[in-house]
Structure 1
Amino acid sequence: MEYFQGWRDDALWLCDFCSVMCKIFNSVTQVVIHAITIVNGNNYDGKFKLFAKSGFQTVWKRRVLIRSFSTYSELEARRVVVTGLGVISPVGCNVRKAWSTILQGGCGITRLEDEHYNNLPCQIAGLVQDGKDGGKFDVTNYFSKSELRAMAPATAYSIIAAQEALEDAKWFPEGEELKQMTGVAVGMGMIDLVDVCETAEALKKGYNRVSPFFVPRILPNMAAGQISIRHGFRGPNHTVSTACATGAHAIGDAFRFVQRGDADVMVCGGAEACISPLSIAGFCRLRALSTSYNKTPEKASRPFDKDRDGFVMGEGSAMLVLEELNHAKSRDVNIYAEILGYGLSGDAYHLTAPKEDGTGAILAMTRALKDAKLQPHDIGYINAHATSTPVGDAIESRAIKKLFGPHSNKLAVSSTKGAHGHLLGAAGNLEAVFTVMACYKAWLPPTINMDNPDELMNLNYVPNEKQEWVECTRRVALKNAFGFGGTNASICISEYKEK
């Protein structure tokens, strides 16, 4: 008994030790059972004796069950890496095209030509470009008419982005056990309001005019459900809807699922396709949208610029494949980056405005750093939430200065929303893809349209042109995402290095 006292805080090691003992003796010995009891500080003999009858295979496959008897603090967290990326966005409909457009300072924001927008204060948006050319989106290449009747546009975007990410990761498991350890976490900020309005009109002509697919189309969890069904993934099937923090929360939650052993692989991200006269009217009534650049839409979204006057709505989807490190290494696949930490917070202040002292942003970033076991001076780049609103950009900038202190002068901080607009529920995940690529390629994406820097904000915002991420021990970044209701998320992402 005393021999095992030194491992009382390492439940995973003891789980592996059990496996070795089972290989040798084809059973779990009483001394190992007692050692596990010491680790947990409670008497779990009865539970673990059940494993003795089935031998090594049962114990090894039931590691998650063994973990459930231990507190998370007693477990050695698994490392989580990014092995696949997929994008459908206003700046390109694959990762290569989107990343190239971002680095070149391109813009996907255009004027809305439909006459229903003519009387609205904002008449611009970041739209997914339809067409058959490379980097554009042709929905008929992917779905039949009958399939499209059963899904919202955002769901279609998510399915295609997930397909690209899975192909990138080379992950199409065939075995049942592999499918059971592969999950999906996809968020959506808003449902398709056009569908709701059209169905409300149809209802006036009789209830039988309402499509039987109406409810499945507007459920936010259907993107995750459709991806899971198409690929047979039976791991966690999870959906988040936290306004503009949705995509980041979906990635963070997926990170936790892999880290804690609920899955070995997670497809995660967000999708949004809610641009309509009604949604734009609603955001205009909140005075949240840009209204001064309808004739020059490519200039409208200008994070951190003195002349910013609101955000520009965008649409699309972005997906990441997160994978347990050893699982990825065993497949010999490319590793883009590693997820090191995840922080959440709430402002507890206002329905739509962040607290002026930046408390929520500071807490989220601080918790992400703590989770990653890092200090502020370890961070080299922050992909900001910065949506191009006068208040929000200033508060986030002040929060960064307050948390990082003198080190903030060495940071690079940029927002890519000038190029693609604000994708709401798909913003955090699209920008996380660009943050991953920054860590992977050592290029910092620019903040375009920053022609007149706000004198109250004096950080390196990577204005207008990409910057090389200069040599450092390890490229480490934070990706921030904040949403209405005071919900905040920050994800710590780094280049992958063996420890």
Structure 2
Amino acid sequence: MAHAPDGPVITEMAVASPYGLGETAFTEGVLAGRPAAVPLDRRVWPVPHRMAGLIPGFDIAGALGPKGTRSMDRLTGIAVTTAGLLLDRCGAPLADDPEGTGLVLGTPGSVQSVMAFTRDALSGQKPFHVNPAHFPNTVLNHPTGRSAIWHGLKGPNVTVSGGTASGLLALTYASRLLRAGHASALLCGAADEFSVQRAHLENAVTAGADESLGEGATLFLLESASNARRGGRTPRAELLGCRFRVVSDPELADKALALCVQDLLRDTGVTADDIALAVPTAAPGFLGEQETTALDEVLGTTDRVELRPLLGDVGAASTALQSAVPLALVRSRPRYSGRPALVTTSDRSGTVACALIRPTEGHS
């Protein structure tokens, strides 16, 4: 996915993060370097973690109204709400073309919904003594489909799932849809939820490591530069490209990521000196060390912003929130304007990924 004259541009974005709903809250929190995790009420969240990066005060009915939300799970509520925030910012031009506007969402699906539905099937008098209204929540593509139905988006509807790389996978998939002419504009990004079930699973996987979990979502409006001009929208950033590799040996993750970044730099004609900002996933422990080693090798001492120490492990939403950082910070840090930012991740599944995003000047 190399740069092209009419290549994909990001014209707007919406963020739901542990700092709150909206881009302003996210920008202020990141600029201040303020940790967003808060102590958990164990009566509400009976989990092995003391802290979590929850979207403050998020309530599905409060955000979307009571109609049609009784059976909606938290992940779907976050996705539908974030899509609404983005469409509100985009205004009428998208509403005029519902057939050409689609949604590509990176998500792992709701662990809470799957486990709760399975528990009901196993613990009830009969396996079919379950609430059928809760079954759709167990399907991987439910947040994406529900978001499109809720907001009247009739273009391509795609769900991807790839751990922390989900946001970059969504950007790549959306770019291909645009290039192939399957849509005129796409909402794309990733979302993940905090839940009791996810907390217990993560605790088992990480052998009790005391890292806060978080939740959130970022959605971008991705379209061609020519489509943005026709709609009267000014690009906030240009998506120069994404690259992915998979390794079976975790010891090789640093080399794989370094090659991934070098491939992307070569294919886009960007040099390491051109990059103004790097935004790694920065997982604790070995994965984070591998990512740091790769960035040190390729970039040296470029500015870096690490979200995970601030937000906690936001799971599938990681690289989508990371990709929001250059757009969010460019107004207060003009030196980032017009210069590529590098987003990277090293996922425990063996996937390494990177993207180059070039933000434009400040956006009102």
**TM-score, length-scaled by structure 2:** 0.89
5+ long unaligned stretches in structure 2: none
In 2 relative to 1, CA 199–282 (structure 1 residues): closer, same or farther, beyond 3 Å?
A: closer
Instruction: Using the TM superposition, give the Cα deviation of residue 355 of structure 1 relative to its aligned residue in structure 2, in angstroms.
Output: 2.8
2:110–2:140 CA contact under 8 A, matched in 1: yes
Q: Which residue of 1 aligns with 2:356?
A: 492
Give % identity: 22
Alignment of 1:231 with 2:95, yes or no, is no
Distance (Å, rounded) in 2 between the aligned partners of 1:327 and 1:200? 48
Distance (Å, rounded) in 1 between the aligned partners of 2:54 and 2:192? 11
> Which amino acid counterpart does residue 218 of structure 1 have in structure 2?
T
Distance (Å, rounded) in 1 between the aligned partners of 2:229 and 2:130? 50
Q: Which residue of 2 aligns with 1:147?
A: 68
| Residue number among 250, 254, 277 corresponding to 1:358 in the alignment | 254
Question: Any idea what the Cα deviations from partners look like across 1:177-234, whole Å, max 9, x if unmatched?
Answer: x333222100112423255236523652334531213331021211211222233333
The alignment's C-alpha RMSD in Å is 2.7
Instruction: Using the TM superposition, give the Cα deviation of residue 356 of structure 1 relative to its aligned residue in structure 2, in angstroms.
Output: 4.6
> Which amino acid counterpart does residue 17 of structure 2 have in structure 1?
S
| Residue number among 160, 166, 169 corresponding to 1:246 in the alignment | 166
> Which amino acid counterpart does residue 412 of structure 1 have in structure 2?
D
> Which amino acid counterpart does residue 150 of structure 2 have in structure 1?
R
Q: Which residue of 1 aligns with 2:177?
A: 257
In 2 relative to 1, CA 264–370 (structure 1 residues): closer, same or farther, beyond 3 Å?
A: farther
Secondary structure, in 3 states, of the residue corresponding to 1:148?
coil
| Residue number among 309, 330, 335 corresponding to 1:470 in the alignment | 335
Question: Any idea what the Cα deviations from partners look like across 1:348-391, whole Å, max 9, x if unmatched?
Answer: 22xxxx3355123223323332443322222121101102x121
2:53–2:213 CA contact under 8 A, matched in 1: yes
Secondary structure, in 3 states, of the residue corresponding to 1:82?
strand
| Residue number among 321, 326, 331 corresponding to 1:441 in the alignment | 331
Secondary structure, in 3 states, of the residue corresponding to 1:183?
strand
In 2 relative to 1, CA 111–471 (structure 1 residues): closer, same or farther, beyond 3 Å?
A: closer
| Residue number among 409, 418, 429 corresponding to 2:320 in the alignment | 429
Alignment of 1:82 with 2:1, yes or no, is no
Question: Any idea what the Cα deviations from partners look like across 1:388-434, whole Å, max 9, x if unmatched?
Answer: x1212211111112223xxx13x112212222111101111112112
Q: After the TM superposition, which residues 158-177 of structure 1 pair with which residues of structure 2 at under 5 Å, given as runs?
A: 158-171=79-92, 173-175=94-96
| Residue number among 473, 480, 484 corresponding to 2:344 in the alignment | 480
Q: After the TM superposition, which residues 196-207 of structure 1 pair with which residues of structure 2 at under 5 Å, given as runs?
A: 196-197=115-116, 199-201=118-120, 203=122, 204-207=124-127
| Residue number among 33, 56, 60 corresponding to 1:129 in the alignment | 56
Q: Which residue of 2 aligns with 1:220?
A: 140
Distance (Å, rounded) in 1 between the aligned partners of 2:47 and 2:102? 44
2:276–2:336 CA contact under 8 A, matched in 1: no
Instruction: Using the TM superposition, give the Cα deviation of residue 313 of structure 1 relative to its aligned residue in structure 2, in angstroms.
Output: 1.1
Distance (Å, rounded) in 2 between the aligned partners of 1:403 and 1:316? 30
- Which structure has more strand as a fraction of its residues? 2
In 2 relative to 1, CA 274–142 (structure 1 residues): closer, same or farther, beyond 3 Å?
A: closer
| Residue number among 232, 254, 262 corresponding to 1:332 in the alignment | 232
| Residue number among 190, 203, 207 corresponding to 1:270 in the alignment | 190
Alignment of 1:96 with 2:24, yes or no, is yes
Q: Which residue of 2 aligns with 1:182?
A: 101
Secondary structure, in 3 states, of the residue corresponding to 1:173?
helix
Question: Any idea what the Cα deviations from partners look like across 1:468-488, whole Å, max 9, x if unmatched?
Answer: x5378x321011133232112
Q: Which residue of 2 aligns with 1:283?
A: 202
Higher relative contact order structure (alpha carbons within 8 Å, sequence separation ≥ 6): 2
Question: Any idea what the Cα deviations from partners look like across 1:123-151, whole Å, max 9, x if unmatched?
Answer: 22111111xxxxxx343234344522343
1:187–1:239 CA contact under 8 A, matched in 2: yes
Secondary structure, in 3 states, of the residue corresponding to 2:28?
helix
Instruction: Using the TM superposition, give the Cα deviation of residue 442 of structure 1 relative to its aligned residue in structure 2, in angstroms.
Output: 5.1
Q: After the TM superposition, which residues 278-427 of structure 1 pair with which residues of structure 2 at under 5 Å, given as runs?
A: 278-287=197-206, 290-291=209-210, 311-349=211-249, 354-356=250-252, 358-387=254-283, 389-404=284-299, 408-409=300-301, 411-427=302-318
Distance (Å, rounded) in 1 between the aligned partners of 2:204 and 2:153? 41
Q: After the TM superposition, which residues 63-78 of structure 1 pair with which residues of structure 2 at under 5 Å, given as runs?
A: 78=6
Instruction: Using the TM superposition, give the Cα deviation of residue 332 of structure 1 relative to its aligned residue in structure 2, in angstroms.
Output: 2.2
In 2 relative to 1, CA 221–119 (structure 1 residues): closer, same or farther, beyond 3 Å?
A: closer
Instruction: Using the TM superposition, give the Cα deviation of residue 325 of structure 1 relative to its aligned residue in structure 2, in angstroms.
Output: 0.7
5+ long unaligned stretches in structure 1: 1-71, 131-136, 292-310, 444-468
In 2 relative to 1, CA 431–150 (structure 1 residues): closer, same or farther, beyond 3 Å?
A: same
Distance (Å, rounded) in 2 between the aligned partners of 1:371 and 1:196? 43
Distance (Å, rounded) in 1 between the aligned partners of 2:46 and 2:82? 32
> Which amino acid counterpart does residue 154 of structure 1 have in structure 2?
L
Q: Which residue of 2 aligns with 1:192?
A: 111
Q: Which residue of 2 aligns with 1:67?
A: none
2:288–2:346 CA contact under 8 A, matched in 1: no
Q: Which residue of 2 aligns with 1:20?
A: none
Secondary structure, in 3 states, of the residue corresponding to 1:193?
helix
Moved more, 193-202 or 228-237: 193-202
> Which amino acid counterpart does residue 203 of structure 2 have in structure 1?
C
In 2 relative to 1, CA 357–341 (structure 1 residues): closer, same or farther, beyond 3 Å?
A: closer
In 2 relative to 1, CA 95–283 (structure 1 residues): closer, same or farther, beyond 3 Å?
A: same
Question: Any idea what the Cα deviations from partners look like across 1:12-31, whole Å, max 9, x if unmatched?
Answer: xxxxxxxxxxxxxxxxxxxx
In 2 relative to 1, CA 198–372 (structure 1 residues): closer, same or farther, beyond 3 Å?
A: same
